[in-house]
Structure 1
Amino acid sequence: MHLFSNIKILLISFVTIVSIWSHVILASNVDFDPISQDIPAIDKNFPPSFHEVFIPVNDYKLTGFILQANGKGPHPTAVLLHGLPGNEKNLDLAQSLRRAGFNVLFFHYSGAWGSQGDYSFSGLHKDVLAAFAFLRKNAEQYLVDIEKISVVGHSFGGYAALRSGSIDDNLSCVVGLSAANPAVIAQSSRVAPKGDENIGGFGGYIDSLFMLNNTSGKKATEEIMANIKEMDTRDYGKALVGKNILLVVGEQDSVTPAALQKDLLNHYQKVPDLKVESHIIAGDHAFSYSRIKLQKLVVYWMINHCL
């Protein structure tokens, strides 16, 4: 009897200790801010890590990397998309998402920044779909929770996020930051021809982007003009039902103005059962002076909606 009593006492003591430590850990996590603090405890067997990856598309590959989160996983995973051409990569947001427990896959589109293939506006979403497929195929290797894949895109990447999100039925969340609408761009004076030899400011800008392979202002403009209907983000609402949608734009954004997001939101709010949240915060197109605010908004929203 004494033996069983001692065992019982030991078990009760062990459970009590575990309970106390569990509360201590939970309490510490309540105070942890992934935007401003490093991870308080690193899993020695599964620490945060960096992996170069090559994503197959057709007969070529896209260059990218995965920021793998702390712990055994599997982890919710965000695909992070840059814009045109991709100078602002939002990698501060990527690191904050990783500290919050997300894996992050970042890559360059076909024909951009060293990725193989030709750059194509109408092909951006196909690259994103290939990235989703890559994560699902290699989920065990990179500790990916395939039931919790999200996409976060900035500018033209916002367009690509919304379009790919409207096609892939198995995503958790879609986030558009200063999301472009190619259909609106195509109808603007920036693209409208100014004489036989001139295609306006947009085309001229494209001509300067030497990091985009085998494209030109004329080619890009013709491509967008020929695909206006398919590239209009306002028409994606019904196909986005079932996912959580976040839209964020800078109040001082002159590239994709807040009015553009308001128009998009107006269309999405008319779609029954579509869960969409919209924010206008201080900032230009790259959120140059509101990076912390942007990260807090996106990261904590994703913690609440995408885990």
Structure 2
Amino acid sequence: MRLAPLVSTFLLSSTALIAQTSSSPISVDPPADPTSPASLVEIAVPSHGAQLLGAFYLASGSQPHPTAIIFHGFPGYEQNLDLAQTLRRAGYNVLAVHYRGSWGVSGNFSYQHTIEDADAEVEWITSADIAAKYHVDPRRVVLIGHSLGGYMALSAAAHHPGVAAAISISGASIGHRFAGLKEEEKQTAVSQFTSRVNPVDLLPLSGTSAAALGAEVFDHRNEWDFLNLAPALGSRPILLITAADGTGPNSDALLHALQAEGNTQSEHLEIKTDHPFSDHRIALQATILDWLASHVHD
């Protein structure tokens, strides 16, 4: 039900939520498959000379599975692995790894590298040998990202037409904050960017600094506005979920751009919570499960 022309506000009473989740993958384990059980594989995905480290949550059953890649935000304290577990119970494989230069992965962290790494993950998971080995259905690959990862999900989907759908959770339109600024404004803009970076966010990252990241964003300020991704996303289903965190207007603008491209399968939903969805984790999972059930088909 739409409560506004572009944005649906997600309101779910506790009674409705219990009814919705009492027999769903959020709360119920699927039957065990003794011949091909669910498992976790400690994984290393190659990207530009580095190995992106993380986990591959494999759903039970030997048949090809729909498969999600979850991209974490900056720097990745919230990894949305509760969502990974729920998706696996729903029959999805789920890949969740770290970018270059983050959380002990070799290389230097940069936004350009995260874009390249997201592409590398899609290419790896859809390669014939990996798809066969891990029971991946390459026709049903879904990209899901939170915050900075929201941009990565949209970017990698735009770069790979075979991706079935993408979900951006409070996605960051990276360059938007500097859009329209002139070159002579760079020093002031980067200084303001640097002042807003929490030093704790830099601790898991190597080969970078707040000033370097700010300068990188400024230099790509027009290129990295995610409105530019709309033509390549085309008519594929895109779900934009935002919180009460200021990310709504950019997602509204992206939805407008997608609709201008003739996209009728995309939507923007708002959940009234904070940026990490701290007190609405079940609502977030229920929203994503329901949407995937309608948009990613067998």
1:31, distance to aligned residue in structure 2 (A): 7.8
- Aligned to 2:242, the other structure's residue is in SS state strand
Return closer, same or farther for 1:226/1:269 CA change in 2, 3 Å cut-off: same
Equivalents in 2 of 1:185, 1:87: separation in Å?
A: 23
Partner of 1:38: 29
Equivalents in 2 of 1:283, 1:247: separation in Å?
A: 15
- 8 Å CA contact retained: 2:69, 2:96: yes
Partner of 2:7: none
The equivalent position to 2:197 in structure 1, one of 169, 189, 205, is 205
The equivalent position to 2:117 in structure 1, one of 124, 127, 133, is 127
Equivalents in 2 of 1:100, 1:188: separation in Å?
A: 44
Equivalents in 2 of 1:185, 1:71: separation in Å?
A: 45
Partner of 1:228: 221
The equivalent position to 2:164 in structure 1, one of 158, 172, 177, is 172
Partner of 2:72: 82
Q: After superposition, where does 1:1-307 map in structure 2 within 5 Å?
A: 32-39=23-30, 41-137=31-127, 138-187=130-179, 199-202=191-194, 205=197, 208=200, 209-250=202-243, 252-253=244-245, 256-273=246-263, 275-307=265-297
- Aligned to 1:171, the other structure's residue is in SS state coil
Which runs of 5 or more structure 2 residues have no equivalent in the other structure?
1-20
Q: Which has the higher contact order (CA 8 A, sep 6+)?
A: 2
Equivalents in 1 of 2:199, 2:210: separation in Å?
A: 5
Residues paired across the two proteins, number: 271
Normalising by structure 1, report the TM-score. 0.82
The ranges of structure 1 where at least 4 consecutive aligned residues each deviate by more than 3 angstroms after the TM superposition are 192-196, 201-204
Return closer, same or farther for 1:264/1:202 CA change in 2, 3 Å cut-off: farther
More displaced stretch, 79-88 vs 137-146: 137-146
Partner of 1:6: none
Q: CA RMSD in A?
A: 2.2
1:69, distance to aligned residue in structure 2 (A): 0.6
More displaced stretch, 271-280 vs 225-234: 271-280
- 8 Å CA contact retained: 1:203, 1:216: no
1:294, distance to aligned residue in structure 2 (A): 0.6
Identity of aligned residues (%): 32
Normalising by structure 2, report the TM-score. 0.85
Which runs of 5 or more structure 1 residues have no equivalent in the other structure?
1-29
Equivalents in 2 of 1:206, 1:214: separation in Å?
A: 17
1:206, distance to aligned residue in structure 2 (A): 6.1
Equivalents in 2 of 1:146, 1:84: separation in Å?
A: 28
- 8 Å CA contact retained: 2:22, 2:28: no
Equivalents in 1 of 2:43, 2:29: separation in Å?
A: 25
Equivalents in 1 of 2:239, 2:178: separation in Å?
A: 24
Equivalents in 1 of 2:150, 2:195: separation in Å?
A: 20
1:202, distance to aligned residue in structure 2 (A): 4.2
- Aligned to 1:180, the other structure's residue is in SS state coil
